[in-house]
Amino acid sequence: MPDAISELLRCIARSRQGIQVLTIKPGFVDTPMTAGIARKGLLWASPQRIAGGIVRALQRRRDIVYLPWFWHPIMRIIQHIPERMFKRMSL
C-alpha cells in the first residue's frame, strides 16, 4: 500500500513544476531508535550514508531508492517468496 500512495503522489506531482516524490526504502540505520538492537553488522548503515544516498537519488530524479544499495536485490528476492512461506521463516 505505501508504494501505491507514493505512486499516486508522483503522478499528481508530475503536473506541478518543482515537486519530486521520492520513495525511500532504508535498511537498518544506526540511530537512537535502533540503539537497543544488539546485533549490528554489515547490513547496517550510518545516518550520514543514508542521507548521502537520498541526496544522490534526488539529484538523479529517481522514483524509488533502496539504501544502502545492496538492499535492492535482497528485497527483490524477498518479494518473490510466497507469503505463507515467508511467515514460517525465522528471520
Domain positions in the chain are: 2-34+41-88
The cell numbers describing 35, all together, are 540503539
The string of pLDDT tens digits covering residues 38-66 is: 878 888 999 999 999 999 999 999 999 99
Give the rounded distance of the alpha carbon of 53 from its chain centre.
Answer: 10
Rounded (5°) CA angle 40-51-57: 120
Q: Is the pLDDT of residue 1 over 60?
A: no
pLDDT classification of 89: cutoffs 50, 70, 90? confident
Q: Is the pLDDT of residue 91 over 70?
A: no
What pLDDT was estimated at residue 18?
83
Q: What percent of the chain has pLDDT over 90?
A: 56
